[in-house]
Amino acid sequence: MSQALIARARSRDDGEPRGARGPDLGPVGGRAAADIALWVFIGCAGTLFTLFITAYVMRMDGTDWTPLGLPRQLFLSTALLIGASVALQAAAVRAADGHAANARTPLVLGGACGLAFLAVQLWAWGVLLAGQVVPQTGPAAGFFFLLTAMHGLHVTGGLAGWYATWRRNAHPDRYAADARRRAVVLCARYWHFLLAVWIALYATLAGVTPAIVGFVCGTR
């Protein structure tokens, strides 16, 4: 009787003990290492984007700067990335509460929104290219393509991580419950980072003007 109670206490959403099926993310130390590795990557990527934004603002003070009209598609892509972050957070909450099966739907929705985000970004690029706006058009256009391309590469990496997470949760017979839960939580955390970076980029591209930069730097 006591053994049955212990096994039931250790089981979660699928009713089986943790570690009973397939590879896990490792012991407590392994899970901590995964957390630290993700935070280190987020810190490095965040620093990289900060440097790019700083270079963008500094270059804006040049006399040859011509403002770039942003494509309206960016409103849609922003909404899609917000949707991806919200959906993956819902999946993470459900997984952390021990309901990994209920996390599958928001997990799929989050991945779909992320993929649609990339598609809309390419659509925005196509609109600019159709209007004869290319990276060589001027520094504003060059920075726009550079910043959005860098962010798009990180989103592509996020989709690869999402796919790995989806596979874990789509095959509960191959992976331990704890491994599936941790994968969803880490995936959601990375996509929150992608959203934060995009908001910073979009705010800079749409809101920072040469007049503001000149006023802050005291050059105008």
Res 26: pLDDT: 46
Measured CA to CA, the distance from residue 105 to residue 113 in angstroms comes to 12
- Domain assignment present for 122: yes
User: Could you tell me the two tokens for 110?
Assistant: 């989050």
What is each CA distance from 42 to 25, 38, 56, 208, in whole angstroms?
20, 6, 21, 24
- Domain assignment present for 113: yes
Measured CA to CA, the distance from residue 189 to residue 17 in angstroms comes to 26
User: What range defines the domain where residue 129 resides?
Assistant: 73-208
Measured CA to CA, the distance from residue 117 to residue 213 in angstroms comes to 30
Q: What does the mean pLDDT of the chain come to?
A: 85
Q: Which amino acid is at 61?
A: D
- Domain assignment present for 127: yes
- Domain assignment present for 214: no
Measured CA to CA, the distance from residue 122 to residue 130 in angstroms comes to 12
What is each CA distance from 114 to 5, 125, 130, in whole angstroms?
42, 17, 25
- Domain assignment present for 203: yes
- Residue 75 C-beta-side C-alpha neighbours within 13 Å: 2
Q: How many folded domains does the chain comprise?
A: 1
Res 179: pLDDT: 80
Q: What percent of the chain has pLDDT over 70?
A: 82
- Domain assignment present for 158: yes
Measured CA to CA, the distance from residue 104 to residue 106 in angstroms comes to 6
Measured CA to CA, the distance from residue 135 to residue 147 in angstroms comes to 11
Q: Is 4 left (phi over 0), alpha (psi -120 to 50) or beta?
A: alpha
- Domain assignment present for 64: no
Q: Model-level pTM?
A: 0.83
- Domain assignment present for 33: no
Secondary structure of residue 153 in the 3-state scheme = helix
pLDDT in tens, 9-44: 444 444 444 443 444 444 445 568 888 999 999 999
The answer to whether 111 and 155 have CB atoms below 8 angstroms apart is no
Residue 175 — very low, low, confident or very high, per pLDDT cuts 50/70/90?
A: confident
State the distance between the two ends of the chain, measured CA to CA, in whole angstroms: 80
CATH of the domain at 192: 1.20.120.80
